[in-house]
Protein backbone atom coordinates (compact mmCIF):
# COMPACT_ATOMS: atom_id res chain seq x y z
CA UNK A 1 0.00 0.00 0.00
CA UNK A 2 1.45 3.37 -1.04
CA UNK A 3 0.77 6.88 0.23
CA UNK A 4 1.73 9.87 -1.91
CA UNK A 5 2.15 13.39 -0.50
CA UNK A 6 2.57 16.51 -2.65
CA UNK A 7 2.84 19.85 -0.85
CA UNK A 8 5.29 21.46 -3.26
CA UNK A 9 2.89 24.21 -4.35
CA UNK A 10 -0.33 26.03 -3.55
CA UNK A 11 -2.24 23.01 -4.91
CA UNK A 12 -1.61 20.15 -2.49
CA UNK A 13 -2.51 16.52 -2.97
CA UNK A 14 -2.62 13.05 -1.45
CA UNK A 15 -3.16 9.65 -3.01
CA UNK A 16 -3.51 6.10 -1.72
CA UNK A 17 -2.65 3.39 -4.22
CA UNK A 18 -2.13 -0.35 -4.30
CA UNK A 19 0.38 -1.08 -7.05
CA UNK A 20 -0.82 0.98 -10.01
CA UNK A 21 -4.44 0.92 -8.78
CA UNK A 22 -5.80 4.18 -7.39
CA UNK A 23 -7.85 3.75 -4.22
CA UNK A 24 -8.37 7.41 -3.32
CA UNK A 25 -6.99 10.80 -4.32
CA UNK A 26 -7.50 14.35 -3.10
CA UNK A 27 -6.24 17.71 -4.36
CA UNK A 28 -7.07 21.05 -2.83
CA UNK A 29 -5.96 24.68 -2.80
CA UNK A 30 -3.86 24.93 0.34
CA UNK A 31 -2.15 28.26 -0.29
CA UNK A 32 0.42 28.49 2.49
CA UNK A 33 -1.65 26.51 4.98
CA UNK A 34 -0.04 23.12 4.34
CA UNK A 35 0.88 22.52 7.98
CA UNK A 36 -2.71 22.78 9.23
CA UNK A 37 -4.42 20.97 6.37
CA UNK A 38 -2.41 17.92 5.31
CA UNK A 39 -2.91 15.69 8.35
CA UNK A 40 -6.71 16.22 8.54
CA UNK A 41 -6.95 15.51 4.81
CA UNK A 42 -4.83 12.38 5.25
CA UNK A 43 -7.01 11.18 8.11
CA UNK A 44 -10.14 11.69 5.99
CA UNK A 45 -8.60 9.83 3.04
CA UNK A 46 -7.57 6.88 5.22
CA UNK A 47 -11.08 6.70 6.66
CA UNK A 48 -12.54 6.76 3.16
CA UNK A 49 -10.40 3.81 2.07
CA UNK A 50 -10.75 2.05 5.41
CA UNK A 51 -7.07 1.66 6.25
CA UNK A 52 -4.73 2.80 9.01
CA UNK A 53 -1.46 4.66 8.33
CA UNK A 54 0.41 1.66 9.76
CA UNK A 55 -0.59 -0.28 6.64
CA UNK A 56 1.48 1.87 4.28
CA UNK A 57 4.51 0.00 2.96
CA UNK A 58 5.74 2.81 0.68
CA UNK A 59 5.54 6.58 0.97
CA UNK A 60 6.21 8.86 -2.00
CA UNK A 61 6.80 12.55 -1.34
CA UNK A 62 7.33 15.53 -3.65
CA UNK A 63 10.67 17.12 -2.81
CA UNK A 64 10.54 20.24 -4.97
CA UNK A 65 11.54 22.61 -6.31
CA UNK A 66 8.53 24.57 -5.14
CA UNK A 67 7.18 26.19 -2.00
CA UNK A 68 9.84 26.29 0.72
CA UNK A 69 7.37 25.88 3.57
CA UNK A 70 5.21 23.40 1.68
CA UNK A 71 8.13 21.11 0.85
CA UNK A 72 9.27 21.13 4.48
CA UNK A 73 5.78 20.21 5.70
CA UNK A 74 5.33 17.35 3.25
CA UNK A 75 8.76 15.87 3.85
CA UNK A 76 8.44 16.16 7.62
CA UNK A 77 5.11 14.31 7.56
CA UNK A 78 6.50 11.65 5.20
CA UNK A 79 9.59 11.06 7.33
CA UNK A 80 7.50 10.93 10.50
CA UNK A 81 5.25 8.28 8.97
CA UNK A 82 8.28 6.26 7.86
CA UNK A 83 9.60 6.25 11.43
CA UNK A 84 6.21 5.05 12.66
CA UNK A 85 5.56 2.43 9.95
CA UNK A 86 9.02 1.38 8.67
CA UNK A 87 7.73 2.09 5.15
CA UNK A 88 10.09 2.68 2.22
CA UNK A 89 10.45 6.40 1.48
CA UNK A 90 10.81 7.61 -2.12
CA UNK A 91 11.46 11.26 -2.97
CA UNK A 92 10.29 12.47 -6.38
CA UNK A 93 11.34 15.82 -7.87
CA UNK A 94 8.45 18.01 -9.01
CA UNK A 95 9.96 18.46 -12.48
CA UNK A 96 10.28 14.68 -12.87
CA UNK A 97 6.56 14.39 -12.16
CA UNK A 98 5.80 17.10 -14.73
CA UNK A 99 7.89 15.32 -17.37
CA UNK A 100 6.10 12.05 -16.60
CA UNK A 101 3.08 13.48 -18.45
CA UNK A 102 5.13 13.35 -21.70
CA UNK A 103 7.06 10.15 -20.98
CA UNK A 104 8.36 8.63 -24.18
CA UNK A 105 8.76 12.11 -25.69
CA UNK A 106 11.80 14.36 -25.31
CA UNK A 107 10.82 17.43 -23.31
CA UNK A 108 11.95 20.13 -20.91
CA UNK A 109 10.28 20.67 -17.54
CA UNK A 110 10.45 24.20 -16.15
CA UNK A 111 9.08 25.96 -13.10
CA UNK A 112 9.53 29.55 -12.01
CA UNK A 113 11.62 30.26 -8.92
CA UNK A 114 10.72 33.95 -8.96
CA UNK A 115 12.90 36.98 -9.66
CA UNK A 116 13.47 35.90 -13.25
CA UNK A 117 14.97 32.53 -12.33
CA UNK A 118 13.71 29.11 -13.39
CA UNK A 119 14.36 25.51 -12.42
CA UNK A 120 15.01 23.51 -15.59
CA UNK A 121 15.44 19.81 -16.35
CA UNK A 122 15.62 18.06 -19.72
CA UNK A 123 14.39 14.55 -20.50
CA UNK A 124 15.21 12.33 -23.49
CA UNK A 125 12.66 10.33 -25.45
CA UNK A 126 14.09 7.06 -24.15
CA UNK A 127 12.99 5.18 -21.03
CA UNK A 128 12.12 7.65 -18.29
CA UNK A 129 14.92 8.60 -15.93
CA UNK A 130 15.15 11.44 -13.40
CA UNK A 131 16.35 14.74 -14.80
CA UNK A 132 19.31 16.82 -13.68
CA UNK A 133 17.73 19.98 -12.26
CA UNK A 134 19.49 23.33 -12.23
CA UNK A 135 18.55 26.97 -11.81
CA UNK A 136 18.94 29.43 -14.68
CA UNK A 137 18.00 32.99 -15.43
CA UNK A 138 16.16 33.98 -18.59
CA UNK A 139 19.32 34.69 -20.57
CA UNK A 140 20.62 31.18 -19.86
CA UNK A 141 17.58 29.38 -21.26
CA UNK A 142 18.03 28.67 -24.97
CA UNK A 143 15.86 25.59 -25.38
CA UNK A 144 12.49 27.11 -26.19
CA UNK A 145 11.97 25.29 -29.49
CA UNK A 146 14.05 22.10 -29.56
CA UNK A 147 11.46 20.06 -27.58
CA UNK A 148 8.07 20.59 -25.90
CA UNK A 149 8.07 22.40 -22.57
CA UNK A 150 5.97 21.18 -19.64
CA UNK A 151 5.30 23.67 -16.87
CA UNK A 152 2.63 25.05 -14.55
CA UNK A 153 0.30 27.85 -15.63
CA UNK A 154 2.21 30.67 -13.90
CA UNK A 155 5.49 29.58 -15.47
CA UNK A 156 3.80 29.29 -18.87
CA UNK A 157 2.62 32.89 -18.59
CA UNK A 158 6.14 34.05 -17.70
CA UNK A 159 7.68 32.13 -20.61
CA UNK A 160 5.17 33.51 -23.10
CA UNK A 161 6.17 37.06 -22.25
CA UNK A 162 9.67 36.14 -23.42
CA UNK A 163 8.98 33.61 -26.18
CA UNK A 164 5.31 33.72 -27.30
CA UNK A 165 5.65 30.79 -29.72
CA UNK A 166 7.34 28.35 -27.33
CA UNK A 167 5.72 24.86 -27.53
CA UNK A 168 4.22 24.73 -24.04
CA UNK A 169 2.02 22.12 -22.40
CA UNK A 170 0.62 23.26 -19.07
CA UNK A 171 0.83 20.46 -16.50
CA UNK A 172 0.34 20.27 -12.77
CA UNK A 173 1.02 16.68 -11.69
CA UNK A 174 -1.69 14.80 -9.86
CA UNK A 175 -0.75 12.85 -6.74
CA UNK A 176 -1.42 9.77 -8.86
CA UNK A 177 1.41 10.84 -11.21
CA UNK A 178 3.83 10.86 -8.29
CA UNK A 179 2.48 7.47 -7.18
CA UNK A 180 2.98 5.95 -10.64
CA UNK A 181 6.51 7.32 -10.64
CA UNK A 182 6.98 5.60 -7.30
CA UNK A 183 5.88 2.32 -8.92
CA UNK A 184 8.34 3.01 -11.76
CA UNK A 185 11.15 3.55 -9.25
CA UNK A 186 10.37 0.29 -7.46
CA UNK A 187 10.26 -1.64 -10.75
CA UNK A 188 13.28 -0.22 -12.57
CA UNK A 189 15.44 1.78 -10.16
CA UNK A 190 17.01 1.57 -6.72
CA UNK A 191 14.65 3.41 -4.33
CA UNK A 192 17.56 4.31 -2.05
CA UNK A 193 18.98 6.55 -4.81
CA UNK A 194 15.79 8.65 -4.85
CA UNK A 195 16.90 10.79 -1.98
CA UNK A 196 14.44 12.55 0.27
CA UNK A 197 16.36 15.78 0.52
CA UNK A 198 14.41 18.89 -0.49
CA UNK A 199 15.22 20.70 -3.74
CA UNK A 200 14.88 24.42 -3.05
CA UNK A 201 17.12 26.26 -5.59
CA UNK A 202 15.32 29.57 -5.09
CA UNK A 203 15.55 32.08 -2.27
CA UNK A 204 13.17 31.85 0.69
CA UNK A 205 10.36 34.38 0.91
CA UNK A 206 11.31 37.15 3.32
CA UNK A 207 8.46 38.46 5.43
CA UNK A 208 8.59 41.75 7.26
Q: Say if pTM beats, i.e. exceeds, 0.95.
A: no
Nearest-CA neighbor of 41 among 6, 68, 75, 72? 6
Residue 135 to residues 96, 176, 207, Cα–Cα distance (Å): 15, 27, 23
In CATH, the architecture of 2-94+172-193 is 2-Layer Sandwich (3.30)
Lowest mean pLDDT among 34-48, 106-120, 165-179: 106-120
Q: What is the pLDDT of residue 126?
A: 63
Contacts of 148 (CB under 8 A, 6+ apart): 102, 105, 106, 107, 108, 167, 168, 169
| Surface-to-core class of residue 8, CB atoms within 10 Å of its CB (0-12 exposed, 13-18 middle, 19+ buried) | buried
Enumerate the domain spans of the chain.
Answer: 2-94+172-193, 96-170
How big is the chain, counted in residues?
208
pLDDT at 207 over 50: no
User: Residue 71, Cα to own-chain centre: how many angstroms?
Assistant: 9
DSSP string, 93-117: -HHHHHHHTTTTS-EEEEEEEETTE
The confidence band for 205, taking pLDDT boundaries of 50, 70 and 90, is very low
Amino acid sequence: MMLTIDTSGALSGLAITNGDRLLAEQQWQSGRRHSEQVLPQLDALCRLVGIAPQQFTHIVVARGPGSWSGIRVGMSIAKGLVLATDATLIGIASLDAMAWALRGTACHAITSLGRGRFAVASYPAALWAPGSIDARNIAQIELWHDAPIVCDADTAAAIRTIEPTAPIRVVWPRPLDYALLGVEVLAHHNPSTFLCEPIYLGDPVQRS
